[in-house]
Amino acid sequence: MSILPPALPPGPSARALRLRECPLQPPAADWYERDARLDPQHPARVFLRALYDLDPAPWFAVYSGRGSAASPPCRLLAAVLYELHVGQRSPAPWFRHARESDPLRWLWGGPTPSRTAWYDFRDRLADSVLPLVQGLVRHAIAAGFTPAHRAASAGTLVAANASRHHLQSQQTLAQHLDQLDQATAAAAAPTPRPGWRAPTATGRHQQLQRYRQAQETMDARQQRHGRKHAGKRTAVEKLRVSVGAPQAAVGRDKEKVYRPLYNVQLRADLEAPFILA
């Protein structure tokens, strides 16, 4: 199989998009060693082959074509799919494994993207997930894998990428938000710095945005809580929100652990082992 990334889709956006060279051509000698060690049916190979069969337009469309050259999205997406396959859902371990893991180093085949590049890619990918799934379903129908006529809906709880040990009440959230407002507005952040506050101006600005989202979530939850029957209400002080994942609901998972959760809805094909949506 060729190790070159897939061709760009036609159109002006493709002509404006600049990609970094990846993998290196010709690849470094250690790439061939990893290739020889990797099983022919290894999931990393399976994911890359699958992406080569799909229309690349959805994941190229999320790039504006401005700024510095982008890391090839096909390689990044294949690496992310492999990391999700082994249970890693956060960009921090993706970045670390891209330096240490043979499958990811084989997939990447060149200089490792920065930690920020992995986070940026995760955020960009959100808008292209639905078109990618639709393309995969069309490909499966065309290949005769499934007629996609019947499906069943099911939900499953997935832990958010946020700490369960730092859930915040309305009082703590308001105090931190006020301190962040002051630290962000000041020319120099006040000292001493508490451990929860970001050390840099950029970090504090990003943190402030997350805290504002968390405050909006808290306000909405308090409004819903206030509409409940009096016999079903708990103390307002017990309501908690996660700053790391403000949209996540807080509850008990399948192992009875109280943490931020997402309820993922799946549409499972009844004709084949396939997820349609």
pTM over 0.75: no
Residue 135: exposed, middle, or buried by beta-carbon count in 10 A (0-12, 13-18, 19+)? middle
pLDDT tens, position by position, 9-64:
444 344 456 666 666 666 777 888 888 999 999 999 999 888 887 887 887 777 77
Is residue 63 within 8 Å of 73, Cβ to Cβ? Answer: yes
With CA atoms as reference, report the closest residue to 277 among 175, 161, 172, 129: 129
Q: Give the containing element (helix H, strand E) for 259.
A: strand 258-269
> Rounded to 5, what percent of the chain is helix, strand, coil?
50, 10, 40
Average pLDDT over residues 134-143: 89
pLDDT tens, position by position, 64-100:
777 777 777 888 889 999 999 998 988 999 999 999 9
Q: Kindly list the distances between the CA atom of residue 183 and the CA atoms of 111, 194, 201, 213, 224, in Å, as whole numbers in the listed order.
A: 37, 11, 9, 18, 32
The residues that bridge with 265 in the sheet, in sequence order, are 155
The DSSP secondary-structure symbol of 196 reads T
Question: What are the sequence ranges of the domains in the chain?
Answer: 12-145, 170-241
157 Ramachandran zone, left/alpha/beta (phi>0; psi -120 to 50): beta
